Structure 1
Amino acid sequence: MVAGSQSLPYGWRRRTEMYLCVVNRVSTELFQTKGTYHWFDAKDFDWGFTSMLPLDKIYDKDGGFLVNGDLKIVAEVYVLEAIGKLDVPDGIGEESGSEKMVEEDDGAESNDLLEVSVNESTDVNGFQVLPSQVETMSRIFERHPDIASKFRPKNEHLRTAYINVLLSLINTLCQSTQEISKDDLTDAYASLSFLTKAGLNLDWLKEKLEKMSEKKEKQEAGEKRMQEIEEELKDLKQKCLNLEAELEKEKADVSVARAPLSFDDVV
């Protein structure tokens, strides 16, 4: 919701970039994150995400989202363009971030296991990652040092969530074209768009994804042609068998025709 929207002049508009993250206390890899751009105005000043996470996942006592009745939600909003009066000079973006604990009394007993963070994180270039991810992240920053130079989210949980999406995307591209489906590639392009909109410099990854898509197209085209050739070969083999049978029959007929008549046959 745009604060003070009723006092803004006629025709006001705000172009924003928004990020929302539902924190999971068991694993950072289970964070649920969404991000988008949106224009707010007098008729549309309280827009938001209509869905984020199924209630059964939130209330799952071992799911890691609801701990001792608390649900942790992180949000960041950036004003990219403002039309109408603003409390800051034109051209300067507004930035707001919040981290809230939403209390939910579901009547369930607290899970002591969740009170302690299961996964200790390690800082790699300003990003909190799992120990198992440190080597991968270090190699990424070594090869692409400017990857996060324009990355906007500042909240630790949001940054971690985006990195998890990035690592998942990289793992997808490490699969063979036989293992990856077209739906996987569609999801990969959506993830890439999600990450680049947040400011990550991923031109190199886009190039790899395009090459993977080309390889997938070649694989499917090749498999289709292979199937066509196999069908043609099957028909040819059957034709050969038919011709061989016909040849044997002709040989038998010729053999009979060549045989000389016996005395009894003549007389």
Structure 2
Amino acid sequence: MWNQRPSYRFEIDNFSEKKALISSKTFVSGGCEWYLQINPKGDRISDGHLPLYLYVANSTTLRTGWKRSANYYFVLLNQSDKELHRSPISLSTNLFCAKTPAWGFAKTIPVSKFQGKGFLEKDRLIIEVHIKVIEAFDGEGGDVSNNKKKKTVDINGFQVFASQVTKVGKIFTEHPDIALDFKPTKQEVKTAYMNVLLRVIKTLNKPPKSLSETRLNKASSELSELMDVGFKLDWLKLKFDEVSLERKKADDTNESRAQQLEKRVEQRVKPIELKLDEVSFVRKLSDDDNESRAQQVEERVKNLELKLDEISLGRKKGDDTNESRAQQVEERVEDLELKLDEVSFERKLTDDDNESRAQQVEERVKNLELKLDEVSLGRKKADDTNEFRAKQVEKRVKNLELMELELNKCWKPKLDELEGKKTDDAIIFEQIEDRVMGIEFKLDSLNTKLEEISKETEKADDADCSLVQQLEESVKNIELMVSHLKDELDKKKNIASDDGFLLVD
């Protein structure tokens, strides 16, 4: 293959738990900055596969007209560096630019494979990318960071910033042949690789204990790329090996300490394990006892099940009997429901008949109420008439009483005179008789009217009856007075006949 060492190695732990997009750190290859991007669950165009892309880093900050021409390919590995997938290498050069800042593959491995047991060791996925930069152009118009052209200094054909002059000068002083075989000719690429070299040196000058395995791997990858483009860095490779060895020793020391801790833990754990064994043994004996008890319980359960089966059988027979009885009851209920429907129908007819009769009764009651209103009105009128007639009778009775008084005042003295003188004045007797006859006639008429009023007042209220009774008593009194007067007249006639007078009737 045209590049045996990967440009970058990207390790992802707990890959099966990842759901969102994963982006790697920025790395340098061919004097250009790149990063990887992967979607663990696939996207709309990957058709259930794992998509993987190579991006130009900080593309929005590059100068106008920038471009990168490069070839690349990916290798997917598991924890033990077993190759899972290798992407093809395109025959034509891929052009990275502002319109197309990324290239890659939409379909690498089916996502479903990652769910399979044992496909990924310890759930770690490793991605290696190999990049071969053919051409790199950073565009025109100023510096990438602030769009202003900074002053650079030429040191052995490399344009470096003023802040880097001392470091770069020291490198060329100590290692004058470092760039004799350097291949790239473009100044931008040379400057980018010098920046990578300075970064690797800075990393290796740090204490080995402070460096992580990932950072050392990145430094190794960058160092290999620098040596591939022509830098003579055997001295730096030795430095890298020393740092790696010291870090390994530190790891071994930590491992020995870990082993000591494990021994101490074992010393403390063994007594506990012995106690646990004792407890387990006691528990086993208890379990044996419990097992015998469990067997007894199982036997009792079996006996109970047999009894339950017997009860179920008897219950089944009883259920059959009950079912037949229930059927009979249902038949009786159906008969009763039919009878109830018939009764309901008859009752409905009766209710309709009663309703019509009730309507007729209501109509008759209404008619009776109307007649009662008419009778009440007529009775009221009759009461008014009777009251008026009673008042007239009272007036006439008063007149009769007045006439009685007049008779007592006028005729009684005359009768007394007749008794004293025993006169035979026939004219006076005739007048008296005429007057008495007139009074009798008036009394007869009054009696007739009183009888009529009595008949009418029988239908009137009790108050009117009491008034009529009073009137009748007054009339009776008057009749007694008239009869008394007649007796006296008869006596006078007899006296007059004895004296030789003839009274004409």
Q: Distance in 2 between matches of 1:235 and 1:100?
A: 62
Letter in 1 for 2:255: K
Of 8, 26, 34, which residue of structure 1 is paired with 2:30? 34
Cα–Cα, structure 1 residues 184 and 100, in superposed 2: closer, same or farther, change >3 Å? closer
Larger Rg: 2
CA drift at 1:137 = 0.7
CA distance in 2 between partners of 1:228 and 1:192 (Å) = 34
> Which TM-score applies when normalising by structure 2?
0.28
The counterpart of 1:171, out of the listed 202, 212, 216, is 202
CA contact (8 A) 2:28 2:196 kept: no
Q: For structure 1, which segment, 159-168 or 123-132, has the greater mean C-alpha deviation from structure 2 after superposition?
A: 123-132
TM value normalised by structure 1: 0.51
Could you say what the CA RMSD is over the residues aligned between the two structures, in angstroms? 3.6
Q: Cα–Cα, structure 1 residues 189 and 232, in superposed 2: closer, same or farther, change >3 Å?
A: same
Q: Deviations over 1:155-205 (max 9, x none)?
A: 110000000110110011011112101111111111111101101101111
Please list every run of 5 or more consecutive structure 1 residues that lacks an aligned counterpart in the other structure: 1-14, 17-29, 36-49, 78-95, 103-110, 240-267
User: Match for residue 145 of structure 1?
Assistant: 176
* CA distance in 2 between partners of 1:228 and 1:214 (Å): 20
In the alignment, is residue 51 of structure 1 matched against residue 54 of structure 2? yes
Question: What is the alpha-carbon distance in structure 2 between the residues aligned to residue 122 and residue 101 of structure 1?
Answer: 20
Q: Does the 8 Å CA contact 1:74/1:157 hold for their aligned counterparts?
A: no
SS of structure 2 residue aligned to 1:129:
strand
Note closer, same or farther for the CA distance 1:100–1:228 as it changes in structure 2 (3 Å cut): closer
Q: Percent identity?
A: 29
After superposition, the Cα gap between the structure-2 partners of 1:154 and 1:161, relative to the gap in structure 1 and judged at 3 Å, is: same
CA offsets, 1:208-263, max 9 Å, x none?
Answer: 11111111111101111122224545776999xxxxxxxxxxxxxxxxxxxxxxxx
Do the aligned partners of residues 99 and 235 (structure 1) sit closer, same or farther apart at CA in structure 2, a change above 3 Å counting?
A: closer
- Which amino acid is 1:124 matched to? I
Q: Report SS of the residue matched to 2:159.
A: strand
Could you say which residue in structure 1 is the equivalent of 2:148?
Answer: 116
- Residue 83 of structure 1 corresponds to which residue in structure 2? none
Whole-Å separation in 2 of the counterparts to 1:182 and 1:71:
38
Instruction: Give the match for residue 237 of structure 2.
Output: 206
Work out whether residues 33 and 161 of structure 1, in 8 Å CA contact, stay in contact via their aligned partners in 2.
no
| Contact 1:76/1:153, CA 8 A, preserved across alignment | no
Q: SS at 1:199's partner residue?
A: coil
Aligned equivalents of 1:76 and 1:115: distance in 2?
A: 26
The code of the aligned residue for 1:71 comes to G
State the Cα distance separating 1:128 from its structure 2 match. 1.0
Structure 1 equivalent of residue 159 of structure 2: 128
Give distance in 1, aligned partners of 2:206 and 2:218.
14
* Deviation of the 1:146 alpha carbon: 0.2
Q: Secondary structure at the match of 1:128?
A: strand
Q: Residue 172 of structure 1 contacts residue 188 of structure 1 at CA under 8 Å; is this kept in 2?
A: yes
Relative contact order higher in (CA < 8 Å, ≥ 6 apart): 1
In the other structure, the counterpart of 2:67 is 73
- Counterpart of 2:54 in structure 1: which amino acid? S
Higher percent of residues as strand: 1
Equivalent position SS for 2:67: strand
Query: What residue number does 1:254 align with?
Result: none
Residue 121 of structure 1: how far off its partner (Å): 1.6
Counterpart-to-counterpart distance in 2, 1:184 and 1:100 = 28
Aligned length: 162
SS in 2 for 1:51: strand
Change (3 A) 1:31 1:237: closer
Alpha-carbon distance in structure 1 between the residues aligned to 2:27 and 2:265: 53
Instruction: Give matches, 1:1-267, under 5 Å.
Output: 33-34=29-30, 51-53=54-56, 57-59=58-60, 64-66=61-63, 70-73=64-67, 99=137, 101=139, 114-117=146-149, 119-233=150-264
Contact 1:74 1:158 in 2 (8 A): no
